[in-house]
Amino acid sequence: MSLSIIILAAGQGKRMRSRLPKVLHKLAGRTLLEHVYVSALQLNFREAHIVYGYGGRQVPETLAHLQAVNWVEQKKQLGTGHAVRQAIAHIPTVDDVLILYGDVPLITYQTLQRLVDAADETGFSLLTSYIDDPKGYGRIIRDGKGDVLRIVEEKDATDEESSVCEINTGMMTVKAKYLSRWLEELESNNRQGEFYLTDIVQKAVAEGISISTANPDAVSEIRGINDRVQLAEMERYYQLVQAHHLMRQGVTLMDPARFDLRGELEAGRDINIDVNVVLEGSISIGDDVTIGANCQIKDADIADGVVILPNCVIENAVIGERCRIGPFARIRPRTRLAKDVHIGNFVEVKNTEVASGSKINHLSYIGDAEIGKDTNIGAGTITCNYDGANKHKTIIGNDVHIGSDTQLIAPVKIGNGVTIGAGTTVTRDIEPNRLVHNKIEHREVKGWKRPKKKQE
């Protein structure tokens, strides 16, 4: 016997008031549906069938990278029972079926494993939870002995049934051979005119099949997202959980409420992160790294001892040991800085390798370049890498000193030990150890009268 998974993700999520299907909205940088999928992925299963509908191909196209997924379309959203019915034909009758919701992102794999295990003996388990405010959920109705009898949807519930605090999370494990039969028998004669998956509970009871229940470790695991307020609340909750985890690992966060990790962080010890830092994608940070306030860092590798001063934007870059970046620096994709490199304020670096000990400290644009060791690039230096049609490379050697306000017209190669005077436009390659400067005349006009604005 093996496990097949169905994830329901066809609903529009009306209350999101969005053109985007609800499950494609993001929590901590990842779609809601992927959160569910990633938890499920840790189980031992045969295949995951994801039921999509609202928004057409948008959901499968956006998440085409997910492995071991069979995308099943539900053309009209006629209820959870109808949604499961679309997928059941793809599932071998010997399997157990785990049913999940694409809009309940924080479900953990441990809870899912418990739910699957709970179905071992009975062939049918429900994930239920006790909550103080059960509004909106289906209620679990048990008999005098405590056995589950049925699930009643809130809209169909009597006042007495509404007062029950044990709710249906929607997640369940059922043997495929039962499920396929019960799905055929579902009817939509209820207040919402939908085919309720939950009606299979009564069918099981009628056949003398008892239903086991499992509970999540935390209520947050079973919370669904219905609108953007809940999405934001869950984002803050999730960020705080991540922040606490990082702090316990040895990362200092000046304010855990003003820290965002939207992806994966591999963190060393004694990292100090000031407020409003956003980390995205896949990030690794070594030991003894300091990150100033208001930095945005995406897909970066940051080595030990790096100091990033406030207001920097770094994307797809490798930052070597003890580099010092910012404040107000922009490190763009495919930049690699070796150790002890300094990148100062208002400097933009793109697709560039900088060897150890070199400095670009003020107001420069360095793109498509290779820079050697211990080279100093003066304020306002620009690599003119773009001729209006193509990009060209600038290669600068070791121990080069470039004066302020220099333009390097690429393609160009500057040899080791070259010195370039301030205000030079370099238009051709320079041999090592030369001094280069343009001939600039210093003119003075005595008693110069500034033009005046004409009176109307």
The residues annotated as belonging to the active site are 362
List for the chain the helix, strand, coil content (%; round to 5): 20, 35, 45
d(CA 141, CA 63): 37
Interaction of residue 326 with ligand UD1, rule CB under 6 A: no
Cβ pair 118, 48 in contact under 8 A: no
Q: Give the Cα-Cα-Cα angle 269, 273, 276 (nearest 5 degrees).
A: 155
Q: If contact means CB under 5 to 8 A according to the sort of partner, which of Mg ion, ligand UD1, none does residue 102 touch?
A: ligand UD1
Binding to ligand UD1 (CB under 6 A) within 49-68 occurs at 51
Cβ pair 360, 381 in contact under 8 A: yes
Dihedral pair phi/psi, residue 32, rounded to 5°: -55, -45
d(CA 336, CA 334): 6
Part in contact with ligand UD1 (CB under 6 A); list of ranges 101-109, 200-208, 332-340, 423-431: 101-109
Cβ pair 329, 343 in contact under 8 A: yes
Q: Judged by CB, which is closer to ligand UD1: 45, or 137?
A: 137
Binding mask 192-231 for Mg ion (x = CB under 5 A): --------------------------------x-------
Interaction of residue 138 with ligand UD1, rule CB under 6 A: yes
Q: If contact means CB under 5 to 8 A according to the sort of partner, which of ligand UD1, Mg ion, none does residue 83 touch?
A: ligand UD1
3-state secondary structure at position 16: helix
Interaction of residue 9 with ligand UD1, rule CB under 6 A: yes
Instruction: State the residue for tokens 């990148």.
Output: 343
DSSP at 53: B
Among 34, 95, 96, 153, binds ligand UD1 (CB under 6 A): 153
Amino acid at 429: D
Part in contact with ligand UD1 (CB under 6 A); list of ranges 38-46, 177-185, 195-203, 343-351: 195-203
Q: If contact means CB under 5 to 8 A according to the sort of partner, which of ligand UD1, Mg ion, none does residue 197 touch?
A: ligand UD1
Q: What kind and span of H or E run contains 128? A: strand 124-130
Cβ pair 291, 309 in contact under 8 A: no
We find the least distance from the C-beta atom of residue 73 to Mg ion, in angstroms, to be 20
Using the CB atoms, write b or e for 138-173: b if 16+ within 10 Å.
bbbbbeeeeebebbbbeeebeeebeebebbbbbbbb
Cα separations in angstroms, 58 against 20, 31, 52: 8, 13, 9
Q: If contact means CB under 5 to 8 A according to the sort of partner, which of ligand UD1, Mg ion, none does residue 170 touch?
A: ligand UD1
Instruction: State the residue for tokens 């690599």.
Output: 383
Interaction of residue 224 with ligand UD1, rule CB under 6 A: yes
Dihedral pair phi/psi, residue 341, rounded to 5°: -90, 140
We find the least distance from the C-beta atom of residue 54 to ligand UD1, in angstroms, to be 8
Interaction of residue 186 with ligand UD1, rule CB under 6 A: no
Interaction of residue 403 with ligand UD1, rule CB under 6 A: no
We find the least distance from the C-beta atom of residue 165 to ligand UD1, in angstroms, to be 12
DSSP at 28: T
Among 31, 128, 198, 394, binds ligand UD1 (CB under 6 A): 198
Part in contact with ligand UD1 (CB under 6 A); list of ranges 163-171, 376-384, 393-401, 425-433: 163-171
Part in contact with ligand UD1 (CB under 6 A); list of ranges 39-47, 194-202, 309-317, 407-415: 194-202
Interaction of residue 82 with ligand UD1, rule CB under 6 A: yes
Among 3, 5, 11, 347, binds ligand UD1 (CB under 6 A): 11
Q: What kind and span of H or E run contains 275? A: none
Q: Judged by CB, which is closer to ligand UD1: 94, or 229?
A: 229
Binding site for Mg ion (CB under 5 A): 224
Footprint of ligand UD1 (CB under 6 A): 8-11, 51, 74, 77-80, 82-83, 101-103, 137-138, 151, 153, 167-170, 196-198, 224
